[in-house]
Amino acid sequence: MKIKAGKKAFAFVAIASVATTIVAGCGSPSANSANGSASTNKTSSQKAVTLSILWFNNGNEGKVLKKITKQYQQLHPNIHFNIITVPYSNENTKLKTMIAGGQPPALARITDPGEFGSSLLNLSKYLNGTAFYNSFLDAAKPDTTVSGRLVAAPIDVTANGLFYNKTLFAKAGVKVPTSPNNVWTWTQWENAIKTVMKKSGARVGLAYDKSPFRFSTLIYEAGGSIFTKNGKHMAINSTKATQAFTFFNQLNQSGIIPKSIWLGNENPNALFRTGTTAMDFSGNWMIQNYKSLPFKWGATYLPKKAIRSTVPGTDQIAAFKGSGVEKQAVAFLKYFMSPKINAEFCEQAFLLSSLKANGDLKYPGATPTVTDAMKVFENELAATPPTPGRDWANPAMQQFQTPLKQYVIKMLQKKLTPQQTTNALQKIGTKILSQTK
């Protein structure tokens, strides 16, 4: 996804940098490099090619990738893979170092194509760009282009959403919405959490990720936006957007969201794991990490003010200029993003597919709780308008999200009213936009 500040703070597999070369049974290539290599294979008329893939994990995606590369090798025995796995926090630095050293990887899993735009291949020169682009969900499209060039493919799509402790809700006699046609309003949601806290003994009402990406969900539910539709002006001090700040402030000041999260450093996901928290506002990437919790849990639909909305995000796979194996890299990228293989990847890694053709994944082996949760998040994406994706794809957002978070905190500290907060952010954002190319 286009990973925003705070999103990958909850990446649970932070493993040491390791390079794994997967070698087909026909023998290893006679040459290898950090990016990619091609050499003559004496037993074949085709050249032996090594494709390096720079990769980070949130869960078991790396294992699924290795399985897929082995399948690809059976179809293309001359292709070999060097999977370089790094922690997410180090990935950008590693990639920039490789590019600066003239040794870019053939492919990489990335979160912000704009940061590497000049180094990425224009995929339209190697495949039918229009058809490829149109195969993606609308929510996944904004993060695939840079300056009008198709430079990346969305591996999966994420959605912000709500988890709840079924045991606590049952004890309080509170039912959650079970249909997208009957979701809570903000007021109903707030009252439901208050009731659960009062009647179940829940220590925490709502654990809400300390993330501007997660916070912004409320802006879109209110029918507001951060930027205007053309992306050239700020819209964050509108009446609708300010309603989101007012409501979030109310949730914090009333104690429904503990101040230890946004005014401290307490991990909201850890709070939910204790079994004493009624609800957790995070996203579908937590499903794999919550599936073995020692209490009954589930996912339910986000509430609405004016409309329903989540905030979509994507991780992308991109091919790089100067690898020496550009054609082979794009060929694998196309294979990896085919409906069948993408479905295999997403089902085994418990991810939501970014492809229109994969709207009904089965997640074999998953518990009913996990399957039901994935369906809820799929529905959240389907109900989401283009506004969030457009806002977060705006080049100015990379710089604006820091003051957005800072000023929300100032509001929670009672240094600013909600309207003063949005007015201040309107001015800051306008200045950032004027400096953004």
Structure confidence by residue, pLDDT tens digits, 195-221: 999 999 999 999 999 999 999 999 999
**pLDDT band for position 315 (50/70/90)?**
very high
The burial of 33, by beta-carbon neighbours within 10 Å (0-12 exposed, 13-18 middle, 19 or more buried), is given as middle
| N-to-C CA span, the chain | 22
- The region that residue 383 occupies, defined by phi over 0 for left and psi between -120 and 50 for alpha, beta otherwise, is alpha
Which of the 8 DSSP states describes residue 295? S
> How far apart, in whole angstroms, are the C-alpha atoms of residue 22 and residue 47?
17
> How far apart, in whole angstroms, are the C-alpha atoms of residue 1 and residue 10?
14
pLDDT at 20 > cutoff 70:
no
User: Half-sphere exposure of 1 toward its Cβ, with a 13 Å CA cutoff?
Assistant: 25
> How far apart, in whole angstroms, are the C-alpha atoms of residue 91 and residue 256?
36
79-115: pLDDT as tens digits: 999 999 999 889 999 999 999 999 999 999 998 898 8
Q: Helices 397-412 & 418-435, crossing angle to 10 degrees? A: 160
Q: CA distances (Å), 182 to each of 185, 221, 276, in order?
A: 9, 15, 27
Which amino acid would we find at residue 238? S
pLDDT given for residue 32 in this prediction:
37
Radius of gyration of the chain measured on its C-alpha atoms = 23
Q: How does the average pLDDT of the chain come out, rounded?
A: 90
pLDDT at 31 > cutoff 60:
no
299 strand-pairing partners: 163
317-361: pLDDT as tens digits: 999 999 999 999 999 999 999 999 999 999 999 899 999 999 889
160 strand-pairing partners: 283
Which of the 8 DSSP states describes residue 16? P
Average pLDDT over residues 152-175: 97
Give the 3-state secondary structure of residue 311. coil
Domains in the chain: ranges and CATH: 49-155+314-362 (3.40.190.10), 159-312+385-436 (3.40.190.10)
Task: Output the pTM of the full model.
Answer: 0.82
**pLDDT band for position 29 (50/70/90)?**
very low
- The region that residue 231 occupies, defined by phi over 0 for left and psi between -120 and 50 for alpha, beta otherwise, is left
CB proximity list for 120: less than 8 A, separation 6 or greater: 113, 146, 149, 151, 152, 318, 319, 320, 321
153 strand-pairing partners: 317
Name the residue among 169, 173, 423, 128 with its Cα closest to residue 279: 169
- The region that residue 122 occupies, defined by phi over 0 for left and psi between -120 and 50 for alpha, beta otherwise, is beta
pLDDT given for residue 202 in this prediction:
97
User: Half-sphere exposure of 319 toward its Cβ, with a 13 Å CA cutoff?
Assistant: 26
pLDDT given for residue 289 in this prediction:
86
Which amino acid would we find at residue 144? T
Please say whether the dihedral angle defined by the alpha carbons of residues 188, 197, 179 and 209, taken in this order, is positive or negative.
positive
pLDDT above 70: percentage of residues in the chain: 89
Beta strands in 68-146 (DSSP E): 79-85, 107-110, 145-146
> How far apart, in whole angstroms, are the C-alpha atoms of residue 127 and residue 129?
6
